[in-house]
Structure 1
């Protein structure tokens, strides 16, 4: 999960009575030995954001009227947000809490905080659009006047970058010969096998710990891992590899056709007879960055090479 940031710059100026900020929850306790400053700021580009991680941000609507002000009241406060993706699609982000009915009233100096989260799936420019709507009522000696609905909108643009670069290579092995009674008493059939190699490069700005790398094999294949996680045991967690920026980790998997799996067999037979190229599966990766944020990525479909 991407680190929540804070922004002490108001997103809206007068004549609005409310301002919208991205704030960390305040604390009266300051730990001088803590690695992060209590006065974090949110830059216009949100810092680094990586595909596979969760973007997270705390939004705060502040009533900036003076606490002694009695001429205006703020009610019906609602914060909404949407994420505009590089593919030009927009997704509404759920930020309301169960008890929030959209009719929150804010006293002078009070604030309303909400957290938005979004799993980054695409590489490229993202835009976080935040909308704030509220009703401003002016008070007079004769009583409150009709409320005026006010809205404003703030856009934040940031770049989602890849965290892991994946390069793969598939090598066909000699097939395994097994008995096949469907071909007669002495019938034999051949099961194809492949070695899939993958190079993972950390292209992020910080170090990551790779927690899992698995091959999701398509039927009728089964996969065997030759990597660090193939060893089971209580100390497995301590053996997860650490990748510093630009470090490369080599992975290898064995893919074997399973004679006991009929699903996908006919398609495999047709593909092998045509050009020898067939779909093998996908690699699923999970990691954590330096601050413990979890990231995950699944590659596209990996296939064997065409035969000459």
Structure 2
């Protein structure tokens, strides 16, 4: 695969889930303002110049280096791909049919990515000198281990003769790889116990005890923790979001790194519900635990466990 010569380049910016490695960097060089290829560096900022918050500890430009550390399972990988045409305005070459493709190589296999438009562009745009083509990548992280974002860029390069006629053209392609590791954000441990019931033995109750531990490097806020039961059962929260006549909702728990929190649910069998669902080895299927949280930077995360079961009486 032929490598393109300068001044063509590709840069990536905007990893919004991992902020420890943010640094101030402009994707394009800064020629004199009198130059035809001058681009305002403010276009690389995530907000308008002059709106910076002096108390905000991070730089206003988010960049994605070739190796940027860890992401967390349950969160969404998100970044912007920028293909910049750095030719001078009077160059004897023309760039057209620019196309960006990306795929995520996860431990379970390769996943083609559907890129979203970051600006108004045509399917095969002609990126003029000093302009850029931007695409947004989003990928839900669902497994631990090494991930690789593979980016392919292709474009047509046409040489213009002195009489402004296209004399020759060729297609150029190149590929860049960006690696990171997806780690577990929350450690979940569960325990199912039978609860005493004043009703007949046919109507059973269970207590679901859950221990959550923050395995991330930063603080997270738990938004919702629910237990989604099979139709045979119904679930009642015994946590901060419990609804009682003499109890008001408390604020969502905030967990610092390595903090542990205990939560519980009461699972009651419905009197008019369908029959219990049983696994091949004779265990009763109760339901699934669903957890939603937000990081200290506002990114959302979601985790769902497998089916929780218990032995038949």
Same fold (TM over 0.5): yes
CA distance in 1, matches of 2:277, 2:55: 61
- Choose from 77, 81, 95 the match for 1:55: 77
CA distance in 2, matches of 1:172, 1:127: 45
1:41 Cα deviation after fit = 3.8
Aligned to 1:64: 86
CA distance in 1, matches of 2:277, 2:86: 66
1:23/1:54 Cα in 2 relative to 1: closer, same or farther (>3 Å)?
same
**Residue aligned with 2:69, SS:** coil
Aligned to 1:21: 11
- Choose from 97, 101, 105 the match for 1:76: 97
Matched, 1:217 2:217: no
CA distance in 1, matches of 2:61, 2:116: 24
RMSD (Å), alpha carbons: 2.5
CA distance in 1, matches of 2:110, 2:241: 37
Matched, 1:204 2:216: yes
Q: Deviations over 1:159-200 (max 9, x none)?
A: 11111110001111234435xxxxxxxxxx621111110000
Q: How do 1:57-206 and structure 2 match up within 5 A?
A: 57-67=79-89, 69-96=90-117, 100-142=121-163, 143-178=165-200, 190-206=202-218
Q: How do 1:265-284 and structure 2 match up within 5 A?
A: 265=275, 267=277, 275=282, 277-284=283-290
**Residue aligned with 1:239, SS:** coil
- Choose from 277, 288, 293 the match for 2:299: 293
**Residue aligned with 1:121, SS:** coil
CA distance in 1, matches of 2:310, 2:6: 61
Q: Which has the higher helix share?
A: 1
CA distance in 1, matches of 2:132, 2:168: 23
CA distance in 2, matches of 1:215, 1:173: 17
TM-score of the two chains, using structure 2 as the length reference: 0.80
Could you list the runs of 5+ residues in structure 2 that have no partner in the other structure?
15-43
**Residue aligned with 2:209, SS:** strand
1:13 Cα deviation after fit = 7.0
Preserved contact between residue 83 and residue 128 of structure 1 (Cα < 8 Å): yes
**Residue aligned with 2:196, SS:** strand
Preserved contact between residue 176 and residue 191 of structure 1 (Cα < 8 Å): no
1:99 Cα deviation after fit = 5.1
Q: Deviations over 1:250-279 (max 9, x none)?
A: 0111111101112xx1545x98xx75x211
Preserved contact between residue 232 and residue 276 of structure 2 (Cα < 8 Å): no
CA distance in 2, matches of 1:21, 1:296: 30
- Choose from 254, 267, 280 the match for 1:255: 267
**How many residues were matched structurally?**
277
CA distance in 2, matches of 1:190, 1:86: 45
CA distance in 1, matches of 2:251, 2:119: 41
CA distance in 2, matches of 1:284, 1:97: 32
1:148/1:305 Cα in 2 relative to 1: closer, same or farther (>3 Å)?
same
Could you list the runs of 5+ residues in structure 1 that have no partner in the other structure?
1-11, 179-188
CA distance in 1, matches of 2:53, 2:192: 52
CA distance in 2, matches of 1:63, 1:13: 15
1:267/1:59 Cα in 2 relative to 1: closer, same or farther (>3 Å)?
closer
**Residue aligned with 2:241, SS:** helix
CA distance in 2, matches of 1:215, 1:34: 38
